[in-house]
Structure 1
Amino acid sequence: MAAYDDIADWYEERFLTAQRGDPLGIGRTVRDLLGDGAGTCLEIGCGTGVHATLLRELGWTPVGVDLSAGMLRHARARLPVVRADASRLPLRDDSVPAAVAVMVHTDMPAYPDVLREVARVLRPGGMFVHVGVHPCFCGGFADRGDPAAVVVRPGYLDVHHTRESWTDQGLRDKVGASHWPLPTLLNAFLDAGLTPRRFAEGGTPVPVVLAAATTKPPHTRPAPSP
């Protein structure tokens, strides 16, 4: 997306530096929920490709897809990539054994459609791991200025897109974020035909991350769009 094209260098050189050391447990969560494997692991919204090393350590062969040419300019040194809309993946049905989306679902206004595409391209029995910001405690409605006392104001219950943010050092004030309440997000997995297997939270003392490991049941197709 154009918004990420404009900040790609800042993201690579400054934002990621502040995330070193896995303060939110994102890497640990991917390890726990995805686990060891073999074959292609498609990373939806791969950005600059910073998770490729972890996927390789787990035995997977990472391949990335992202819409931002600026982000992919950095990612190409880390993994094979293709520039494409995640809601229209350029892959065959039942073609990949695993896929992940790491901290990107709020960047995708059509994320329920993305989940349907993930279900389409996964092999029967294949795994999809979603790791994203926690919908209950992160968003324009949440003030995290005091980590020990997050203030949640009205707005959580509405599906919306916003650039409101409690800080100007993050991403949301620059590129905005789409928000789905927890039931809406979880139901999107079910509507796509994905079966939840495990859930996890990360970040303390109030969670920042919500993650889900899901699988595609054998010989099924996603339900038609409503």
Structure 2
Amino acid sequence: MASTAAYDEIADWYEEEFIAGQRYGSGRDDPLGLGGLLRDMLGEGEGTCLEIGCGTGIHAASVRSLGRTPVGVDLSGGMLRHARGRLPAARADAARLPVLDASVPAVLAMMVHTDMPRYPAVLAEAARVLRPGGVLVHIGVHPCFCGGFADRGDPDAVVIGPGYLDGHWTKASWTDGGVRDKVGATHLPLPELLGAFTAAGLVLSRFAEGGRPTPAVLAVRAVKPHRAR
């Protein structure tokens, strides 16, 4: 599985090369549509938005533009070093959040679930810290069209090979210019991913996809019910 040390080792590259120049919300600089998905799925609101796996804090400005107050947690001290000045953040395990029960109105998980082998436990923790009526927004790698089984070498098509149902961790990647060949990725097939939300007691309310011609991103908005179902 991907380790904290792995992200520590690539933190400077991630900040200075991989992310440099990307402006989320611009169609030209945001080919996956992450900025639009974040705005549409999270929406305007008030109070704390806890970003789990906040990394270098690149989404904090978008969260603030919605009237919310971004706060982050991440395992990698190297990534958090670059997050300084972007949002308040603490080094913590997303599966064991240092946050009180029912204390935040929103939780954001942005392109991180493939870095979290215990993602069902992470969703359970997110549900624990959410207030009743609170919103969880997940925007992540599309389980159907990305992973060690998907080759995106042709910009007009995706070639899908064996591996979708394996549910394994791998460093296999169609490119050496991304993150996955460096730190690996955990894959959850779509039924397991969506089932983890309902198992956490969350109610699925909206879905969206991003990226063309074949979606590379799946977005999910879920709500913590006011009463146990």
**Fold agreement, TM-score > 0.5:** yes
- For 2:119, the equivalent position in structure 1 comes to 111
Is 1:156 equivalent to 2:164 in the alignment? Answer: yes
1:142 aligns with 2:145: no
CA RMSD across the alignment: 1.0
Unaligned runs of 5+ in 1: 222-226
Q: Are 1:35 and 2:43 matched, yes or no?
A: yes
Identity %: 70
CA distance in 2 between counterparts of 1:27 and 1:191 reads: 28
| Whole-angstrom CA distance in 2 between matches of 1:32 and 1:105 | 20
Does residue 94 in structure 1 map to residue 99 in structure 2?
A: no
CA distance in 2, matches of 1:81, 1:59: 18
Counterpart position of 1:194: 202
1:37 aligned counterpart, secondary structure: coil
CA contact (8 A) 1:147 1:206 kept: no
User: Which piece of structure 1 moves more, 56-65 or 21-30?
Assistant: 21-30
Contact 1:145 1:166 in 2 (8 A): yes
Q: Which residue of 1 aligns with 2:11?
A: 8
Paired position in structure 2 for 1:167: 175
CA distance in 2, matches of 1:75, 1:58: 19
The superposition leaves residues 167-205 of structure 1 with CA deviations (integer Å, 9 ceiling, x where unpaired) of 000000000000000001000000011111100000000
Equivalent residue in structure 1 for 2:222, among 203, 214, 218: 214
Show the counterpart of 2:184.
Answer: 176
TM, length-normalised to structure 2: 0.95
SS in 1 for 2:98: coil
Q: Count the aligned residue pairs.
A: 221
- Counterpart check, 1:53 vs 2:56: no
- Judge conservation of contact 1:40–1:96 (CA < 8 Å) in 2: yes
The corresponding residue for 1:26 is: 34
Structure 2 gaps, min length 5: 24-28
Alignment deviations for residues 51-89 of structure 1 (CA, whole Å, 9 cap, x no partner) = 000000000000000000000001021000010000000
Letter in 2 for 1:3: A
Shift of 1:18: 5.7
String of CA shifts for 1:126-179, please: whole Å, max 9, x gaps. Answer: 000000010000000000000212110010011100000000000000000000
- The 2-side partners of 1:178 and 1:210 are apart by 15
Q: Aligned equivalents of 1:164 and 1:93: distance in 2?
A: 38
Q: Kindly indicate whether the alpha-carbon contact (under 8 Å) linking 1:124 and 1:220 is maintained by their aligned counterparts in 2.
A: no
